């Protein structure tokens, strides 16, 4: 039986974030391939962590800048190592290379953090993203991790094009894998217009684009909606709401901070319209994926809808300024005659883009092909080899210096 070691930036929380749901999806892919899986992380454990031990996955606590990981990986001898985001590849990639050189190294990008960062900076400066924005620290580190890895998983078609075009990454180093689901819901399973009520906004409060969207709603969009729908309510859900968020709760305005949702799909299903006014960000948006599954039409921005619909009709509206978003939300909330049409559009996107069967076979074949001729694959990646060489001469020595310093202070 082949072994997979996942090195997680955090412990997966599929009920808290899109990243957590995506990681659970990956774990299920490898379980289906028959892998024995160990999930390791240096992060503190949270109350919302998914109990993956129930799936037969082994939980392992590891430390940053510690040679105990070297002993662990030499004992485990994994066939494949999956790094959850580029920071984990930076921390542990050189150790895997040194002590387990024959292991296939896969980088799970989730979303491109350098793209999210560039868009955030551009938003603050009221301008478009420019090529120079990708010469910053995050971009240099993230793309270097892509080059050092044997393969990178990319969640968005837009980001596939950015990696090959802007950064010149060869396509054979990338694999497009979006959210997936085994089967699409049936139209008859979705609640009808009259069974749904209120607006919903959902997303982990620790994710900056989500917090920005909540403020955008509070300050500009929701007052415009309430002028037209005086009894409407906006229910805002999300894990880890800070005090600054809970203080926005206002029953008189119908602006309700609900916090953690025990069942995200249930609250999404019961809402009539999903609002996702994202002004920056990257990757695919889990909230909009769930809205399609729940039969809840949405109003979002170009950033929110990016790479989500495969050029099919959006199940709702796309708008980018407060007035346009508010007017679209009001129209969608009152449009019973078109409601089933929008629900069907969401299901069409699910069936076209997000079924597991569309990707599983190609994923399995790519893994096997790389394992069969890993040396040949790496021989074509001089840039990655060069970056790994310098990493092992810099990051390695820095990590060893930190470890020695920590031992002296104990």
Residue 400 reports pLDDT greater than 80: no
Average pLDDT value for residue range 322-345: 96
Average pLDDT value for residue range 264-288: 97
**pLDDT tens per residue across span 75-86:** 999 999 999 999
Average pLDDT over the chain reads 95
Statement: 187-354 belongs to CATH 3.40.640.10:
no
pLDDT of the residue at 395: 72
- What is the CB-side half-sphere exposure of residue 89 using CA atoms within 13 A? 26
Each residue of 332-359: b (16+ CB within 10 Å) or e?
Answer: bbeeeeebeebbebbbbbbeebbebeeb
pLDDT of the residue at 54: 94
**pLDDT tens per residue across span 25-72:** 999 999 999 999 999 999 999 888 999 999 999 999 999 988 899 999
**pLDDT tens per residue across span 236-245:** 999 999 999 9
Residue 124 reports pLDDT greater than 70: yes
Average pLDDT value for residue range 166-194: 95
Provide CATH code, domain 3-181+357-386+393-409. Answer: 3.40.50.2000
pLDDT of the residue at 253: 97
Average pLDDT value for residue range 143-156: 97
Tokens 């969401």 map to which residue? 346
Residue 255's pLDDT band (boundaries 50, 70, 90)?
Answer: very high
Q: Whole-model pTM?
A: 0.94
Give the whole-angstrom CA distance, residue 90 versus residue 390. Answer: 12
Residue 175's pLDDT band (boundaries 50, 70, 90)?
Answer: very high
Residue 161 reports pLDDT greater than 70: yes
105 vs 5, 38, 54, 59, 170, CA distance in Å? Answer: 10, 15, 26, 20, 16
Structure tokens at 74: 């030499």
Give the whole-angstrom CA distance, residue 32 versus residue 51. Answer: 18
391 vs 104, 292, 349, 386, CA distance in Å? Answer: 18, 43, 42, 9
Structure tokens at 111: 């979303």
**pLDDT tens per residue across span 205-220:** 999 999 999 999 999 9
pLDDT of the residue at 397: 66
Give the whole-angstrom CA distance, residue 107 versus residue 373. Answer: 18
Residue 183's pLDDT band (boundaries 50, 70, 90)?
Answer: very high
pLDDT of the residue at 410: 65
pLDDT of the residue at 16: 83
Residues 356, 19, 175, CA angle at the centre, nearest 5°?
A: 50
206 vs 8, 87, 214, 242, 334, CA distance in Å? Answer: 17, 18, 12, 8, 32
Structure tokens at 301: 């921005």
**pLDDT tens per residue across span 305-325:** 999 999 999 999 999 999 999
- 227 against 409, higher pLDDT: 227
Residue 404 reports pLDDT greater than 90: no
Residue 370 reports pLDDT greater than 80: yes
Listed in order, the ranges of the chain carrying CATH 3.40.50.2000 are 3-181+357-386+393-409, 187-354
Average pLDDT value for residue range 136-163: 97
């Amino acid at each position: 039986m082949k072994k997979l070691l996942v090195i997680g930036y955090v412990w997966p929380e599929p009920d808290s974030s899109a990243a957590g749901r995506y990681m659970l999806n990956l774990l299920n892919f490898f379980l289906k391939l028959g892998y024995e899986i160990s999930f390791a992380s240096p992060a503190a454990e949270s109350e919302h962590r998914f109990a993956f031990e129930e799936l037969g996955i082994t939980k392992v606590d590891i430390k940053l800048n510690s040679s105990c990981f070297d002993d662990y990986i030499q004992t485990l001898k994994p066939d494949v190592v999956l790094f959850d985001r580029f920071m984990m590849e930076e921390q542990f990639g050189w150790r895997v290379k040194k002590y387990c050189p024959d292991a296939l190294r896969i980088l799970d990008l989730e979303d491109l953090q350098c793209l999210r960062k560039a868009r955030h900076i551009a938003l603050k400066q009221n301008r478009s993203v420019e090529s120079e924005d990708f010469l910053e620290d995050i971009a240099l580190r993230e793309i270097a991790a892509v080059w050092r890895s044997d393969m990178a998983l990319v969640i968005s078609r837009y980001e596939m094009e950015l990696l090959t075009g802007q950064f010149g990454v060869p396509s054979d180093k990338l694999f497009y894998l979006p959210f997936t689901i085994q089967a699409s819901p049936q139209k008859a399973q979705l609640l009808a217009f009259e069974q749904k009520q209120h607006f919903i906004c959902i997303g982990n409060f620790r994710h900056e684009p989500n917090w920005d969207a909540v403020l955008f709603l509070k300050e500009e969009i929701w007052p415009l909606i309430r002028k037209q729908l005086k009894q409407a309510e906006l229910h805002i859900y999300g894990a880890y709401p800070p005090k600054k968020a809970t203080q926005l709760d206002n029953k008189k305005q119908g602006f309700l901070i609900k916090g953690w949702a025990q069942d995200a799909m249930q609250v999404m299903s019961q809402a009539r319209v999903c609002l996702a006014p994202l002004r920056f960000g990257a990757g695919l948006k889990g909230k909009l994926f769930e809205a399609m599954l729940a039969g809840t039409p949405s109003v979002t921005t170009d950033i929110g809808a990016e790479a989500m619909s495969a050029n099919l009709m959006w199940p709702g509206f796309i708008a980018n300024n407060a007035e346009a978003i508010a007017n679209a939300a009001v129209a969608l909330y009152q449009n019973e005659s078109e409601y089933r049409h929008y629900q069907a559009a969401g299901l069409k996107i699910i069936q076209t883009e997000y079924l597991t069967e569309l990707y599983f076979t190609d994923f399995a074949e790519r893994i096997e092909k790389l394992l069969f001729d890993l040396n040949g694959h790496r021989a074509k990646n001089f840039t990655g080899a060069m970056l790994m060489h310098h990493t092992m001469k810099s990051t390695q020595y820095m990590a060893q210096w930190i470890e020695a310093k920590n031992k002296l202070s104990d």
